[in-house]
Structures are given as structure tokens and as C-alpha cells.
Amino acid sequence: MPSALITGVSSGLGRAVVARLSREGWEVTGTVRTLEGAGAKGHPPGVRLRVLDLSRPESIAELAAAVLAESGPPDVLINNAGTLHFGPLEDAPPAEIQRVFQVNAFGQIALALAFVPGMRERGSGLIVNVGSLGGRMVFPFFSVYNASKHALEGFSEGLWHELKPFGVRVKIVRPGYIDTPIYEKASVDRAGVAGASQIYRDALTKIVEFERRVTRRTRPEEAAEELWIVVNDTSDRLAYPIAAYARSLLFARRLIGETRFLRIAHGRWFGRS
Ligand SMILES: NC(=O)c1ccc[n+]([C@@H]2O[C@H](COP(=O)([O-])OP(=O)(O)OC[C@H]3O[C@@H](n4cnc5c(N)ncnc54)[C@H](OP(=O)(O)O)[C@@H]3O)[C@@H](O)[C@H]2O)c1
């Protein structure tokens, strides 16, 4: 059975993907930031949990070394772990910007690169990066998060080219809205609105309201089903929009053009200017 290493399986999409692959009999290793309480998350029996904190480069190196020593590079690496930041760019502390890029981009890149030589020498492997709709378009106050996802897009496309001659495939998924705790973990309301510069308050309040009204969020299990299809797509396709609104928003932007799309989105939150 194929083996898969999936990062960030304590909740949300990662947790559902672990269940989906395990159901097929795959050999699944998932990462969590701490093993404390991880057993209570109800992962299927047979799933191996390992510790990974992407904000600490030494943790990435330790995980990669342990996996390589035990079983070599996995057949499939799913770079799923991610963290959200919300708020005006000028309010974002530099250390927070660094943290988000470390977890969502540098950490993902470092982990993938740890397995690339082995996959290349073996002549097979699949790296699936979990990007975001926000890796293709940016909404106000998601600038830091979305910029980190843009970085992941660039990295994925570059690696796609570099590894294609060696039989190693690279893919990126671009989720729209999935019903996971990622927003609560980012403390959107507290960090975003209450702590924000007065000058951005109105627009911030509008976008928080807008996000709250997005009730059609894909269930993690359904998103995992879409990801399962991606994992099994043996074509050289790079990118896949998945989950609610991803396809429609990307299509709308292409259809009406970038500037018009930006103006319409801007007017919604900032009024006409
Ligand atoms: N939900 C959406 O609407 C949406 C939309 C677009 C893209 N995405 C992307 O989908 C992926 C999965 O997110 P999700 O929505 O399922 O959210 P989630 O439930 O919060 O899952 C994120 C996972 O990443 C882990 N993680 C966070 N910081 C980490 C770190 N420093 N080191 C290692 N692991 C860390 C979390 O662990 P802890 O539990 O310890 O925090 C959790 O297991 C992310 O890459 C996210 O950006 C989600």
C-alpha cells in the first residue's frame, strides 16, 4: 500500500484526509504539534503520529530525519499544516509576519526539500501542497496569510518543472472555504477588529461580517474527498481549486478581468472611492 505523510492532522482538512487515506488501507503518518491529547482526536487505528512544529526549523529537520531513517521518503507528502493571520498589514508585528511565512511557506518548502533527493533518486513521488484561493487572489486584511500562500504557489510551480523529468509530481490545491477551526485559532475578531487601527475599523468590521455570512463552507470530509481525487490524478496537472467558492471566484476574476474584479471587491468593503 502507498505511504503518505500529512502535516497538521490535529483538526480540519488534515484530520479528514488521514481518515480518507486510512480507509483505503494506506500507510499513513500524520504530524501534530504535540502528542499530548493527540490520541483523543480519534484517528483511525494504524495511523502513526509524529511531532512537527513548522515554526521551528530544527523540528522540521528532526521529523524528516526520522521518517527517512525509518522508511525513506513517503510515496505522497501532503503539506497541509497552515496558520491564518488576519488584520491590517500595518498592524502586523514583524515577528507575526515571519511566523506566518515560516509555517505556511518556508516550513512547507523545507519539508518538501528534505524528501526531494530521495524521491528524485527513486524516480517517483507526489508532493501535494495545500495552498489557498488566497494564493491566487488577495482580500483585504488577509495580506500576510495570502502572501504566504502566493509564495507556496510560486514554489510549487517551480518545483513542478524541476522534478517532472525525474518522475516526481508536484501539485497544489487551492481551497476556497472549508468549515474548520482555522479562523477561531487565528482569533479573527479579537486580533482583527478590537486591536486594529481605528482608521481600518469600518472596513474590518464589514469583512468580518462578510466572512461570518459565508455559511456555505465545505465540510472537511468533502474537501478530503476532493483531495483524494487529486492524489489519484496521475496526470501532470499542477493546480486544483477545491471546496466552496474556489472555482467560482477564480472563474469570475478571469472572466471580468483583474482590475474590474478588484474594484467590485473593494467597493463591497470600502465603499466607492
Ligand atoms: N479552512 C479554510 O477555509 C481554508 C481555506 C484555504 C486554505 N486552507 C488551508 O488548508 C490547510 C488546513 O487548514 P484547516 O482549514 O484544516 O485548519 P486547521 O483545522 O486549523 O488545521 C491546520 C493544521 O495545521 C497545524 N499547524 C498550525 N500551525 C502549525 C505549526 N506551526 N506547525 C505544525 N503544524 C501547525 C494545526 O495544528 P494545531 O491544531 O496545533 O494548531 C492543524 O493541525 C491550511 O494550509 C490552510 O491554510 C484552509
Using the mean position of ligand 1's atoms as its centre, give its distance from the Cα of residue 26 in Å.
22
pLDDT tens-place string over residues 201-230: 888 888 888 888 888 999 999 999 999 999
Instruction: List phi, psi (to 5°) of 116.
Output: -60, -50
Delineate the domains of the chain, giving CATH numbers in brackets.
Answer: 3-244 (3.40.50.720)
Q: Is the CB of 148 under 6 A from ligand 1?
A: no
10 C-beta closer than 6 A to ligand 1: yes
**CA separation for the pair 22, 28 (Å, rounded):** 6
Judge if the beta carbon of residue 130 lies within 6 A of ligand 1.
yes
Burial of 62 (0-12, 13-18, 19+ CB in 10 A): middle
pLDDT band at 188 (very low <50, low <70, confident <90, very high): low
Residue 268 Cβ contacting ligand 1 at under 6 Å: no
Q: 92-123: per-residue pLDDT in tens?
A: 999 999 999 999 999 999 999 999 999 999 99
Using DSSP's 3-state secondary structure scheme, residue 227 falls into helix
What integer pLDDT is reported at residue 205 of this predicted model?
87
Give the mean pLDDT of 33-59: 90
Ligand 1 pocket, residue 78 CB under 6 Å? no
> How far apart, in whole angstroms, are the C-alpha atoms of residue 169 and residue 122?
12
pLDDT by residue (tens digit) across 138-179? 999 999 999 999 999 999 999 999 999 999 999 999 999 999
Ligand 1 atom with the shortest distance to the CA of 56: 31
Q: Which of 182, 218, 227 most suits a substitution to test ligand 1, by most atoms within 8 Å of the C-beta? A: 182
Residue 166 Cα to ligand 1 midpoint, Å, equals 30
- List all residues 6 or more positions away from 227 whose beta carbon is below 8 Å from its beta carbon: 13, 17, 20, 78, 128, 173, 242
